[in-house]
Amino acid sequence: MSIEIDPWTPELIMYWSKFQEDLAEPVRKGTLEILDEGLTREKFLELVANAYVLADDAANTPPDGGMPVVCRAGCNYCCDESVQTSPPEVLALAEYLRATLTPEGLEKVKRNVRRVDKQTHKMSDNARVRARVGCPLLVEARCSVYSMRPFTCRGYNSGDVGACRLRRGHPGRVVPQDPWRMSCQSGVATGLLRGLAGRGLENDLLELISALRIALEMPDATDRWLAGEHIFAAARWDDRNPKHAEAIRWYEQMKAA
Ligand code: SF4
């Protein structure tokens, strides 16, 4: 089933919430089973990578082929928007950058992340769209961490590149999106986060760039987080913004479920 969600109606929100719940539960259970075998750094990173594979497989096989999506490599109109993410996604991303970049390359990414964080820290979603500050992980117009990009980036899609172009710098503009692809990513993310939260790990809703800055500047970030430290307080999604507050409420309910 594919529906253009422009705008979301209460009925559609309920339908896709249920869809996400159905997807989340087996992932939550599977995550807890894996964690019961012992939570090592390697196991944690494998868990996140497997969740991405699972979400992508589901997202890429809509029952009727899905809404035609126009997203292509090199098209990055959406990459100057705020990205909601979570500790496991950010830590896996930082570890990926450490493992794949040269020391000079890593320093360059850190500098770029710091620069963008200074420009965008605590900006509202709309201000961020208007500011048109590109994600520091873009390299030659492409996502340089494509295989490890967060669930939000994986789920974002567009049925109309003209709408993406018009939205750039103009937050009121709506882009038609396939809810199947978005919901597959959200459902798997929900299951993973519930599983991790079930073991008492810090699981706040975070803003990608501020959180990545913390994870990159703290060489033992993953170990400290796995040991139960709350290292991402400065990157929490800002609840002074009403839209963020709504997202945080939903997220807290999701974690508590
Ligand atoms: S992580 Fe990749 S896909 Fe996500 S905003 Fe940054 S460049 Fe774009």
Please state which of the ranges 31-35, 82-86, 208-212 shows the lowest mean pLDDT: 31-35
Q: How confident is the model at residue 4 (pLDDT cuts 50, 70, 90)?
A: very low
**pLDDT of 38 higher than 90:** no
**pLDDT of 5 higher than 60:** no
**pLDDT of 183 higher than 70:** yes
How many whole angstroms separate alpha carbon 250 and alpha carbon 206? 14
In this prediction, residue 22 carries a pLDDT of: 93
Q: What is the mean pLDDT of the chain?
A: 90
Q: Does residue 104 sit within a domain? A: yes
Question: Once rounded to an integer, what is the mean pLDDT over residues 71-75?
Answer: 95
- Which tens digits make up the pLDDT trace of 95-150? 999 999 999 999 999 999 999 999 999 898 899 999 999 999 999 999 999 999 99
Q: How confident is the model at residue 67 (pLDDT cuts 50, 70, 90)?
A: confident
Whole-number Å distance, alpha carbon 38 to ligand 1 midpoint, is: 32
* Closest C-alpha residue for ligand 1 atom 7: 143
Q: Does residue 34 sit within a domain? A: yes
Q: Does residue 53 sit within a domain? A: yes
Question: Once rounded to an integer, what is the mean pLDDT over residues 200-226?
Answer: 95
**pLDDT of 254 higher than 80:** no
Domain count, the chain: 1
Question: Once rounded to an integer, what is the mean pLDDT over residues 40-63?
Answer: 94
Whole-number Å distance, alpha carbon 37 to ligand 1 midpoint, is: 33
In this prediction, residue 2 carries a pLDDT of: 34
**pLDDT of 1 higher than 50:** no
- Which tens digits make up the pLDDT trace of 217-239? 999 999 999 999 999 999 998 76
* Closest C-alpha residue for ligand 1 atom 4: 153
In this prediction, residue 198 carries a pLDDT of: 86
Pick from 115, 119, 112, 114: nearest CA to 144: 112
Atom of ligand 1 nearest to the CA of 145: 2
Residues with CB under 6 A from ligand 1: 79, 83, 135, 137-138, 143, 145, 149, 153
Q: Does residue 14 sit within a domain? A: no
Q: Does residue 8 sit within a domain? A: no
Q: Does residue 237 sit within a domain? A: yes
- The residue behind tokens 């295989």 is 147
Q: How confident is the model at residue 156 (pLDDT cuts 50, 70, 90)?
A: very high
In this prediction, residue 246 carries a pLDDT of: 66
Q: Does residue 184 sit within a domain? A: yes
Q: Does residue 169 sit within a domain? A: yes
- Which tens digits make up the pLDDT trace of 7-26? 567 788 888 889 999 999 99
Go through 37-55 and write b for each residue having 16 or more CB atoms within 10 A of its CB, e for each that does not.
eeeeeeebbebbebbbebb
Q: For the chain, what is the radius of gyration of the CA atoms?
A: 18
Task: Give percent of the chain with pLDDT exceeding 90.
Answer: 72
Question: Once rounded to an integer, what is the mean pLDDT over residues 199-221?
Answer: 94
Higher local confidence (pLDDT), 187 or 6: 187
Phi and psi at residue 141, to the nearest 5°: 70, 5
Whole-number Å distance, alpha carbon 198 to ligand 1 midpoint, is: 28
Among 143, 147, 158, 212, residue to substitute to test ligand 1 (most atoms within 8 Å of Cβ): 143
What does DSSP assign to residue 133? P
Among 113, 116, 153, residue to substitute to test ligand 1 (most atoms within 8 Å of Cβ): 153
Whole-number Å distance, alpha carbon 148 to ligand 1 midpoint, is: 10
Higher local confidence (pLDDT), 200 or 104: 104
Domain that holds residue 81: 20-256
Whole-number Å distance, alpha carbon 136 to ligand 1 midpoint, is: 8
**pLDDT of 256 higher than 70:** no
Alpha helices in the chain (DSSP H): 10-36, 41-59, 87-100, 103-120, 125-131, 151-155, 161-167, 179-197, 208-217, 221-226, 242-256
Q: Are residues 81 and 125 in contact, defined by beta-carbon separation less than 8 angstroms?
A: yes
- The residue behind tokens 């830590």 is 91
